[in-house]
Amino acid sequence: MSEEIKEPLTAQEELLEQESKTECQSEIPADEASTEKLSEEDSSPENEEDRLRLELEKLKDTHLRLVAEYDNYRKRTLKEKSELIRSGGEKVLGDLLPVVDDLDIALQNLDKATDLEALKEGMHLIHTKFLDYLQRQGVRPIEATGQDFNEEYHEAIATFPATEEAQKGKVIDCVKKGYTLNDKVLRHASVVVGQ
pLDDT at 91: 80
pLDDT at 5: 46
What confidence tier does 42 reach under pLDDT thresholds 50, 70, 90?
A: very low
In this prediction, what percent of the chain has a pLDDT beyond 70? 78
pTM over 0.75: no
pLDDT tens for each residue of 149-173: 989 999 999 998 888 888 888 999 9
pLDDT tens for each residue of 111-154: 787 888 888 888 999 999 999 999 998 999 999 998 989 899 99
Indicate if 131 and 144 belong to the same structural domain.
Answer: no
pLDDT at 43: 55
Between 55 and 91, residue with greater pLDDT: 55
Strands 139-141 and 184-187: unpaired
Indicate if 106 and 61 belong to the same structural domain.
Answer: yes
Least confident of 5-14, 29-38, 110-119, 180-189: 29-38
Strands 139-141 and 189-194: unpaired
CA dist 122 and 106 (Å) reads 7
Indicate if 76 and 91 belong to the same structural domain.
Answer: yes
pLDDT at 155: 92
Number of domains in the chain: 2
pLDDT tens for each residue of 104-117: 988 888 878 788 88
The domain that holds 156 is classified in CATH as 2.30.22.10
Indicate if 104 and 70 belong to the same structural domain.
Answer: yes
Cα torsion through 111, 114, 120, 124, rounded to 10: -70
Beginning with the edge strand found earlier in the chain, give each strand of the sheet holding 154-160 in spatial order.
Answer: 154-160, 189-194, 171-176
Strands 184-187 and 179-181: antiparallel
Please indicate, yes or no, if residue 89 is contained in any of the structural domains: yes
Helices H, strands E: what count in the chain?
2, 6
**H/E run at residue 176:** strand 171-176
Asked if residue 146 lies in contact with residue 169, where contact means CB atoms within 8 angstroms, the answer is: no
pLDDT at 76: 96
Please indicate, yes or no, if residue 161 is contained in any of the structural domains: yes
List of residues 6+ apart from 161 with CB closer than 8 A: 194, 195
Domain extent for 110: 50-137
CA dist 132 and 102 (Å) reads 14
Asked if residue 191 lies in contact with residue 150, where contact means CB atoms within 8 angstroms, the answer is: no
pLDDT at 177: 93
- 159 phi/psi in degrees, rounded to 5: -115, 150
